[in-house]
């Protein structure tokens, strides 16, 4: 057996020691050092990214899931920060799930991963007047504000709530000017408003035109009250750094 064959055999054994034989002639005590080192490093890192998932699953099931990830998945990146994304993708695609796992587990894992993703994301900040008029100007949505919808109340999951009823949950996760990641619970209507602002800001729409578009589409029973509430949502977005301010509006927009 040549060196590369022995190396591949050792790697397979480290990934799956229960089913893959180690190369002959290596003391098991020495092999155990590598087995534990690789698994524990990966396990500890993923526990740090997905602490609630780990707690709800319990140590035995969590460790089995990490082991299955090591055995069945081949990462496309050598960077530790990106391994958590591959673990998440594997989980969302059903590659390491079991039928009796919690049905909300992939959504919970995504919610937990978002914090790391936003904390490490490098972006180019758009120009915006922080005190600009959000109605007359074009609202500028932060590139570090993610508008998320889940089928479960993932932000409430933990030891106190581990068997939630399904239900639409809308969240905005944003890294603010203080460089901290903040989570905001919003209504489905506010989520739709933010989605429209994200879409139409590239076309130079004013905030007033965006709100008018939504009001015409939704036909609220009391337009005046709806308009006042919608303006309040815009200001809330600005206070939470979801909106960075506004830019001068293009003529006719």
pLDDT tens sequence across 116-136: 999 999 988 899 999 999 999
Q: Single out the residue in 93, 120, 147 at which a domain terminates.
A: 120
Same domain for 114 and 18: yes
Tell me how far CA of residue 227 lies from CA of 23, 48, 106, 133, 221, in angstroms. 72, 43, 37, 16, 11
pTM of the prediction? 0.88
pLDDT tens sequence across 34-60: 889 999 999 999 999 999 999 999 999
Q: What CATH number is attached to the domain comprising 242?
A: 3.90.930.50
Residue 116 and residue 111: Cα distance in Å, rounded?
10
Same domain for 210 and 180: yes
∠ CA 174-179-184, nearest 5°, is 25
Number of domains in the chain: 2
Same domain for 81 and 152: no
Q: Which domain holds residue 238?
A: 138-247
pLDDT tens sequence across 147-163: 999 999 999 887 666 67
Answer yes or no: is 19 within a domain: yes
Same domain for 171 and 215: yes
């Amino acid at each position: 057996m040549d060196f590369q064959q022995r190396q591949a055999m050792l790697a397979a054994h480290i990934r799956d020691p229960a089913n893959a034989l180690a190369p002959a002639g290596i003391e098991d005590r020495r092999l155990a050092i590598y087995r534990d080192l690789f698994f524990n490093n990966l396990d500890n890192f993923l526990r740090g990214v997905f602490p609630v998932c780990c707690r709800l699953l319990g140590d035995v099931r969590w460790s089995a899931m990490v082991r299955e990830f090591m055995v069945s998945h081949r990462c496309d990146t050598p960077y530790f920060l990106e391994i958590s994304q591959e673990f998440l993708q594997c989980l969302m695609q059903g590659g390491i799930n079991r039928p009796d796992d919690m049905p909300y587990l992939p959504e919970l894992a995504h919610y937990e991963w978002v914090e790391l993703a936003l904390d490490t994301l490098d972006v180019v900040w758009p120009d915006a007047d922080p005190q600009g008029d959000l109605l007359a100007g074009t609202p500028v949505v932060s590139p570090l504000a993610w508008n998320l919808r889940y089928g479960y109340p993932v932000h409430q999951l933990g030891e106190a709530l581990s068997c939630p009823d399904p239900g639409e949950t809308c969240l905005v996760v944003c890294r603010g000017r203080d460089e901290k990641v903040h989570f905001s619970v919003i209504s489905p209507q506010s989520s739709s408003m933010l989605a429209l602002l994200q879409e139409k800001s590239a076309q130079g729409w004013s905030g007033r035109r965006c709100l008018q578009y939504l009001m015409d589409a939704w036909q609220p029973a009391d337009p005046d009250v709806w308009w006042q509430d919608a303006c309040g949502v815009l200001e809330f977005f600005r206070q939470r750094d979801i909106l960075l301010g506004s830019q001068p509006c293009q003529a006719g927009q």
